[in-house]
Amino acid sequence: MDIIETDYLVVGAGSSGCVVANRLSEDGRTNVVLLEAGPPDNYLWIHIPIGYAKTMFNPVYNWMFETDPEPEMKGRKVYWPRGKTLGGSSSINGLVYVRGQPQDYDDWQAQGCPGWSWSDVLPYFMKFENNSRGASETHGGSGPVHCSDIANKHELMEAIISGANSLGVPRNVDFNNGQQEGVGYYQLFTKRGWRSSTAVAYLKPARSRTNLQVLTHAMATRVLFEGKKAVGVEFEQKGVRRQVRVRKEVILSAGAIQSPQLLECSGVGQADRLQALGIPVVHHLPGVGENLQDHLQFRLLFRCKNPSQPMTISAARCAP
């Protein structure tokens, strides 16, 4: 079998995998292999924000998962899109830049997750960010990921915002400033109208490095262990089974669904369940594959008697 040797192997070239591969290979000496199950991101609609509609149900670039029937949803299966290309879900997502509420990060730290408090993560948000509003105390102005204000605003949206204001909901001009409460426009991960995925922001600038090897159409099927130490991965590329062996570390960044799945397929998870499926147990780790939570999204649609055109609002009017 064909075996590739490297220092670090990164499985999954999604939002996180592209960042990790870039950083690990930055010194020009450390050898890094990045495996991506999907194809390259050279489909034009990935890069145009409105192309969201073209990738949302496209099995080439989207895993198109669905849940089992949900008892709490009258047995409905819920559609669960996930990106399957360089950039992963950052190549097909809604581009909305929302960091979250600081107290949530502080709660995670308080519950035993050191390094995840708001003050710990804020410098990283600022480091990755190139905000069209420029640098400030809470925003970065020179990072690789671009974020911009929405240029075209619709008078109906302005009416909704004013309506909310008249009911006492404050206008919020920056949802990423430590206070999410309020109503307003969010910022988007775009640069002059083009999607700023992590493949564009982090991987593209690193592709010319000779110490970084990116393999697409390469699906990791099993983590290889020596005892309890991960020493590589078996993968399939265009029908051929191959291996990557590491001198240092295997990093799983295949997303919230597929990283635990790959661990379970490799014998790391709930021992009883793995044994029932005929998977030899490497390590009994009952938390793997459990407690997944996601936000359920539903949309409200209204018929409008008075359709109107988008209007352009100057950047000055949106600025904080």
Ligand X SMILES: Cc1cc2nc3c(=O)[nH]c(=O)nc-3n(C[C@H](O)[C@H](O)[C@H](O)COP(=O)(O)OP(=O)(O)OC[C@H]3O[C@@H](n4cnc5c(N)ncnc54)[C@H](O)[C@@H]3O)c2cc1C
Q: Which residues of this chain interact with ligand X, rule CB under 6 A?
A: 11-17, 35-38, 81-84, 88-90, 92-96, 98, 219-220, 253-256, 258, 262
The nearest distance, CB 126 to ligand X, in angstroms, is 16
Where on the phi/psi map is residue 283: left (φ > 0), alpha (ψ -120 to 50), or beta? beta
CA dist 62 and 84 (Å) reads: 5
Answer positive or negative: Cα dihedral of 70, 80, 179, 149: negative
Nearer to ligand X, 25 or 97 (CB): 97
Nearer to ligand X, 132 or 258 (CB): 258
Contact 249, 30 (CB under 8 A): no
CA dist 62 and 132 (Å) reads: 29
The nearest distance, CB 75 to ligand X, in angstroms, is 23
Nearer to ligand X, 165 or 237 (CB): 237
Nearer to ligand X, 22 or 90 (CB): 90
The DSSP call for residue 217 is S
Q: Which residues, 6 or more positions from 19, have their beta carbon under 8 angstroms from its beta carbon?
A: 128, 198, 202
The nearest distance, CB 283 to ligand X, in angstroms, is 19
CA dist 39 and 218 (Å) reads: 9
Nearer to ligand X, 209 or 255 (CB): 255
The nearest distance, CB 298 to ligand X, in angstroms, is 14
CA dist 58 and 53 (Å) reads: 9
Q: Which single residue brings its beta carbon nearest to ligand X?
A: 14
Question: Which of 101-113 are b and which e, b meaning 16 or more Cβ less than 10 Å from the residue's Cβ?
Answer: ebeebeebbeeee
Nearer to ligand X, 102 or 165 (CB): 102
The nearest distance, CB 54 to ligand X, in angstroms, is 12
Task: Reduce the DSSP state of residue 279 to 3 states and report it.
Answer: coil
The nearest distance, CB 187 to ligand X, in angstroms, is 11
The nearest distance, CB 151 to ligand X, in angstroms, is 17
Nearer to ligand X, 67 or 162 (CB): 67
The nearest distance, CB 270 to ligand X, in angstroms, is 20
Q: How far apart are the first and last CA of the chain?
A: 58
H or E element that contains 256: helix 255-265
CA dist 309 and 305 (Å) reads: 13
Nearer to ligand X, 93 or 190 (CB): 93
